[in-house]
Homo-oligomer: A and B are copies of this chain.
């Protein structure tokens, strides 16, 4: 038996950091079988569609997917792929790494972002010329599901939960979100704080160390996690997991970085850390820990790519990670 992993390198630096990460996974004693699929701007140009059916099918039937990055067509690729794996939770750990310049070095938190509804439902219309609407949807089912996931996740880590919302303005929809979260929290006797998302944005900037697990509606999670990325030196190091019931997709938070793509100097750390999340999700906790430790070791005293002030190539970093495994 081996794990079937769909690998979707995508565009730009995705095509460099994904093979580097596969190399690391192949150095473990975990049985994998990798199948590569195309998606993104390049595929759109060549095949006329950013996300071919064969890629969706490959992702659907795989045990898990490792995704690189997409360019202009990102939303056309990653949103349907998240749906394909049935992802209801987008998990984004954000922390400062030793030796990496950070505005707020104490940052160590995890966003648990609702990943199916809010303003991401695609229900939009032009009602009459120049008058457009979008239907933001919040359901009890999806809110309870993400709440249960978030409270479980926090409990496993002994972490505190903060719930982000804007129920003073979005009274019915974020009111529903809060009601559902409260119902789940009460059932479990969980303790947690509720905070208006605008106030949270300020507090995250000022005292990120006070937050552990932040449970967010979809768009709030998108914005707040990028904000937090700024506190630890950018998106370059941040991994993420899109988790469904029996499938999941793992991707770095960064994009395709066309400015440095093709030079062989992209930082593979975020993708490798995403692979560590994938290993844990597959139940290979020990291997996940080994990958994370190796990447963190290299980040703190190994070769560095130019984004971290070094001169190393992607390959040098990959070599160093493999050696440390």
Contacts and interface: CB of A to CB of B under 8 A. Distances in A.
B226 A119 contact: no
Given A133-B137, A140-B131, A172 B126 contact: yes
Contacts of A203: 230
Interface in A188-230: 197-199, 201-206, 219-220, 222-227, 229-230
Given A169-B79, A202-B230, A234-B202, A130 B139 contact: yes
Nearest to A199: B226
B170 A74 contact: no
Contacts of A166: 119, 219, 222
A54 interface: no
A61 interface: no
A259 interface: no
A75 interface: yes
A173 B226 contact: no
Given A166-B219, A205-B103, A230-B204, A134 B199 contact: no
Contacts of A120: 169
Contacts of A75: 168-169
Given A132-B175, A205-B231, 4 more contacts: A122-B171, A133-B135, A133-B137, A133-B172
15 contacts: A103-B103, A120-B169, A124-B173, A126-B176, A131-B137, A132-B137, A132-B138, A132-B172, A132-B176, A134-B138, A136-B136, A201-B226, A202-B226, A205-B231, A223-B223
